[in-house]
Copies of this chain bind each other. A is one copy, B any other.
Amino acid sequence: MLAKVYVTLRNGVLDPQGKAIHHAATTIGYQGLTDIRQGKYFEIAFDESVNQEQAYEQLEKLAHDVLSNPVIEDYKIDLTTD
């Protein structure tokens, strides 16, 4: 079972890394860019010993406690079974 977790900065939280990429890209000629924000992306694989419900429960906890800082970041969990 493969899960994807996306961690992004909350709206309103300054993203200097994204701003730097935006500025650099505009400087070297990319057009029409209004904003770039950078986040984190995790691919998490589970073995057969956990079912989808257990996996989702663990993912919620893992995303909240380990992968993100809930004060300034949001996370999204995408759990696919294949």
Q: Write the residues of chain A forming the contact surface with B, with a CB cutoff of 8 angstroms.
A: 6-8, 18, 21, 24-25, 28, 30-47, 49-50, 54-55, 58, 61-62, 66-67
Query: Using Cβ atoms and an 8 Å threshold, which residues of chain B touch A45?
Result: 33-36
The residue from B32, B38, B42, B67 contacting A58, defined by CB atoms under 8 A apart: B32
Tell me the complex Cα distance, A45–B61, Å: 30
**Could you pull out 22 A-B pairs where Cβ atoms are within 8 angstroms?**
A6-B41, A8-B41, A8-B43, A21-B66, A25-B66, A28-B66, A30-B58, A30-B61, A31-B49, A31-B58, A32-B50, A32-B54, A32-B55, A33-B44, A33-B45, A35-B43, A36-B42, A36-B44, A36-B45, A39-B43, A40-B40, A40-B41
